[in-house]
A and B are shown apart, each in its own frame.
Chain A
Amino acid sequence: MSYIPEPVNREEIKSVKVLTPRLQRLKKEWEDAEPQVYVDDTLLFTQSWKETEGLPVDIRWAKALEKRLDECPIILRDGELLAGSLTKFVRGNGTLCAMKPHEILQMVESGRFDRKTSDISSTKIDPADLEALRQDALYWIENMPKVSTVNASVAFEMGEDTFDLLFDRGMVFEGRGVRYKMDRGLFQNYSAYGGGVAQVSDKCIKYGLNYVIDLCRKERERMIAEGDNENSHGSAQFIRKFWLLKACIISCEAFIRYAKRYADLARSQAEHCADPVRKAELLRIAAACERCPAEPPRDFFEAVQAVRLYHLVCWKESSDRPEVPIGRLDQILYPYYIADKKAGKVTAQEAAELLGALWLKIRECENLVTIPREQRAAPGSLLPNITLCGVDENGVELTNEVSWLILEAMAQMKLSEPAIYIRWSEKTPHDFIIHALECNVEFGGGNPAFLNDRLGTERYLERGVPLYDACDWCASGCLGYHLSCMEHLGGGHNISQLKVLELALNDGFDPRTKKQLGPHTGDVRTFTSIDQILEAYYKQLDYFVPKLMMFKTISLATEITDGPMSGLRVAMQFDTAIKAGLTPKEGGAKYPEGRTSWLGSRGMVDLADTIAAIKKLVFDDKKCTMAELMDACANNWEGREDLRELCLSAPKYGNDDDYVDEIYDELSTRVPEIMTSRIDPITGKKPMLFIGAAAGHVGIGRAIGALPNGRKAGTPTCDAACSAMPGMDVNGPTALINSATRGDYAREFVGYALNMKFSKSVLNTPEKLDNLASLIKAFMLRNGWHVQFNIHSRAELLDAQKHPEKHKNLLVRVGGYSAYFIDLPRELQAEIVQRSMHDEV
């Protein structure tokens, strides 16, 4: 990344209008369009699969992509600045029946199609398409494997009882690879994270796919001429590599032809276009698509167009869970931008509009979901994460003019995606941080998020990655991050700490499945100190961790070798994957241990609060007995609201309260020790830990009964890695940060995110934003990892009026005066709700 960014013209940036009349119209068209089910891709995929029977799976997967790219309908809408539409509809949602035929059939039969975003479903589908989709799903039900290799292998090695720990049963373990009898299609064990997610590849853009194709060809020729004992010893590995490189060539060539189809389309539209301005735009698209991705972009426009097509094609290829991170977009685009700007070929305004157009095209990507809603980790997100800024290996901070423009695009387009992550460092320009916070307010909160640049790089250095690579990382998944196209982006296997605790409190017996899931660790009713409870808990955890590791080893390794072998993903990491003859997920990445070795831990905050409440009420203050508490929990507090009130008023994490924070600290030391006490057999190294927090809290909460922290049975657990129990952090933001960064937790756990919430009154003057910037700085200096700022929504304020007990921390500030929202008289509450409504408009 070695370069020094040119000075930024802030005034020019701040005056850009991203939402030009053209983009306003396109955005409105998209917003107004009714989602419609799109079937062409799945039909083409199935057709290709029939045509390629008997060929190696790598080739079949590549041919299926090729068929879709060659034959799917392509669209370039009136006024569009960039080519590359996911479907032929303004808001089309596609899927591949091959991946989840039962679920698709169910949707067909109910006439209700779930989409990947939030809780909207779509029902619009052409009758002929509906029938075609039904036939397609039926074909796959008939032709897919009948038994999941993962489930069969797990049962074979670990026994049928193991499934009691999984989804829908005890749910001690949770995560993408940890499902029991899911509807899986062609690749029974394939999930995006097991299979991995493709990333928009900065190096492919930079070199062009012709270069990659040439490398593959030469490597194949070399293998034939010289053999390949050095890299792929043995016949199986040799032929695997031989086919995989072919698959890579097929995929790249198909991608190039796909772009050229857009070039042809744009040219033919230009021929019939009377408006000279539009004609020029169309010819510009044609020239860009003719050139990229085959060759490197020549200018800013071609670079943006290339990013669009890379994201789209990776999306199509990922199929099942196409959560394609875009990576360090400001760094990818900057060289083209600054060269054009110096040559007078582009203005900030033109660039901003183009980025706005890119935003719309990225947001347009939606799929029908193939995972039941309640099992989804991130129900509202498509995760096309974009990462900005960062310090390079020479210590140069890389915030540039494109970083600024991207913030503007985000703030002004006001689309729920993509999410922006800023790599915060002490060198990040202060006014850029302020601008990011202003954009956050304009956007309505939650975007962008801030990641600790130093910590991100240090964590890679600690794993032995050299500095020049360690500093080239970006955000991915819901709360993960990875080295740009140098790692495989896999998922984690999580353990639900609260379930383990529930088992510890019940002598290993699970009230949900009514089975003895864990070892006998004693009847807590007879315990005389909190240490006995902690010991019981640690014993339970220590019992389950090796089981989780074995489960992970079998399921993940089976997923990896059973999933599609993507040639496209070889291309994305061509510098190492070609030579290795392996996809990134199999070890073809530059840093192959990558994200395959995560162990996730969920529910740490609830865990600490629960232990604190027991310690305080039973052992310190003796307000109740352990038996009383256990009985009340067993009855979900029925008839014991008084005891629940006591539990809720016990010290809670998030308040800078030593009583509970010391417990949290101890747990955050002991839990990682236990979880990393055995190596990960796949990497031979200590497993990496992940705070599995993003949105799985709803799912795991459902499996857990009432607990002494005052929570009721089945309710969600805390919502992010280190956020407090909802409404319980009443000492303000500095106290919450102090609790969250008391120890070096973020170094131990990946994904350690803090969601902070503010009312608009804390964000409405430049001085207050300055203060927020200082808060971020303090958070980072205390080794915090990830922080983002949400703004209380009107819905929340309305809920606070109805359920004041859930919103004790909702602070309203007005010129030197502050009060808790729930204490305000109703009329004033109404006024604030009214104002928030105004703010949202």
Chain B
Amino acid sequence: MEGTIFNIQRYSLDDGPGTRTTIFVKGCPLACLWCSNPESQDPRPQVAYRYTSCKACGSCVAACPKKAAALDAEGVHIDRAACDRCGDCVKACAHGALRWSGEVKTVEQVMKTVMRDKVYYQTSGGGVTCSGGEILMQPDFVAEIFRRCRAEGIHTCADTCGYGSEEAMRKIMEHSDLVYFDIKHMDPEKHREYTGADNGIIFKNLAVALEMGVPAVIRVPLIPEYNSDEENLSALADYVKSLGPGIGHVSLLPYHSYGSNKYRMIDKCYQLEGLRKLLPEEEQRAREIIESRGLRCVVSK
């Protein structure tokens, strides 16, 4: 079985307990404004441009049969509509500035990498996390990886935005020891505005996970001006509290713009350019709101 992934990160420390290997699958049904991995959204492998390595030699422009690559003072731009992903430009680039983002891998290949770090999972209480992109877009692939992991005694954690079919959710949850479940906004309208989709399906899928007995950690990206307000966080805290004891804790991810340059790499535009950082008091307040409901709250650093 094959899947499309854009990264396998070993010694991953933020995607579940212990030392983990995180498999990032490619393709996401949402397009959150603040997404720090925009290259994960497109479900197919695509050419990415690393401008720090570019020597502006122009060999990609010459190599492109579709005339989709152009060079100006800011470096290389690729007309993504014209690009048919033939990869000639990647082959032509001697400096590693143009590279493939995403590759098709078999479960076997993924497992080979996963197994190399088994001793580290054991000493740390870690395991494997599948993240994205969105895992619900490749449920059979992810489920199969998890099934194989469990057979090896490796802990599995699914990291999902929850937007996908119930069937996909069930397939993956069947082999998951833990789920990291994102909630971006409680208000359906705002959720649609910021991420491109309704949150109804998301809540339903969270219920599915809990019903199947998979413990959940709720992850909330804290984006100033978008979802870090009192009203949203209070609603969120109440909602999470109402879910009962299946919830491990709430994990807050304060906004950062480290992914902003990645938009340039795939010729996209970052819409939150210039957005301010979360203030320490906002972070503190968010934590208080969560904790006031008797929930455990962890802020990622």
Contacts and interface: CB of A to CB of B under 8 A. Distances in A.
A771 B258 contact: no
Interface residues of A, number: 39
B50 interface: yes
A74 B53 CA distance: 60
B253 A816 contact: yes
A768 interface: yes
Contacts of A519: none
| Chain B contact patch, size range | 35 or more
B119 A775 contact: no
A813 interface: yes
A822 B123 contact: no
Given A804-B53, A814-B258, A828-B261, A738 B116 contact: yes
A392 to B, nearest CB: 24
Interface string A814-830: 11111100111100100
Contacts of A770: 124
A18 B118 CA distance: 41
Interface string B247-273: 000000110111111100000000000
A278 B50 CA distance: 65
Nearest to A731: B10
Residue among B12, B14, B122, B254 with the most chain A CB within 10 A? B14
B50 A823 contact: yes
Contacts of A144: none
Interface stretch (A153-161, A208-216, A242-250, A777-785): A777-785
Nearest to B19: A771
A434 to B, nearest CB: 13
Contacts of B52: 804, 822-823
B18 interface: yes
Contacts of B9: 732, 818
A585 to B, nearest CB: 41
Interface in B41-70: 50, 52-53
Given A645-B94, A815-B300, A767 B258 contact: no
Interface in B1-32: 9-15, 18-19
Interface in A773-816: 774-775, 777-778, 781-782, 804-805, 812-816
A768 B126 CA distance: 12
Given A774-B19, A804-B52, A734 B259 contact: no
Contact of A771 (B13, B53, B94): B13
B259 A817 contact: yes
B95 interface: yes
Given A816-B14, A818-B9, A735 B261 contact: no
A813 B123 contact: no
B100 interface: no
Given A731-B10, A778-B123, A817 B258 contact: yes
A764 interface: yes
B117 interface: yes
A380 interface: no
A513 interface: no
B120 interface: yes
Interface in B208-262: 219, 253-254, 256-262
A768 B94 contact: no
A813 B301 CA distance: 9
A107 interface: no
B123 A825 contact: no
Given A765-B301, A823-B50, A823-B52, A734 B13 contact: no
A818 B253 CA distance: 13
Given A656-B116, A734-B116, A817 B124 contact: no
Nearest to A812: B258
Residue among B13, B94, B262 with the most chain A CB within 10 A? B13
A13 interface: no
B119 A782 contact: yes
B244 to A, nearest CB: 25
Contacts of A771: 11, 13, 18-19, 124, 126
B96 interface: yes
Residue among B9, B52, B256 with the most chain A CB within 10 A? B52
A782 B120 CA distance: 10
Nearest to B48: A823
Contacts of B53: 804-805
Nearest to A764: B301
Contacts of B18: 771, 774
Interface in A65-90: none
Given A764-B301, A815-B256, A823-B52, A733 B124 contact: no
Interface in B88-128: 94-96, 116-117, 119-120, 122-126
Interface string A357-379: 00000000000000000000000
B13 A815 contact: no
Contacts of A813: 13-14
B8 to A, nearest CB: 9
A656 B14 CA distance: 22
Interface in A722-777: 731-735, 738, 761-762, 764-765, 767-768, 770-771, 774-775, 777
12 contacts: A642-B94, A734-B10, A734-B117, A765-B301, A768-B13, A771-B13, A778-B122, A804-B52, A813-B14, A816-B219, A817-B37, A817-B258
Interface of B: 9-15, 18-19, 36-37, 50, 52-53, 94-96, 116-117, 119-120, 122-126, 219, 253-254, 256-262, 300-301
Instruction: Give 6 closest A-B pairs by Cβ, nearest first.
Output: A815-B300, A774-B124, A825-B261, A774-B123, A777-B123, A732-B11
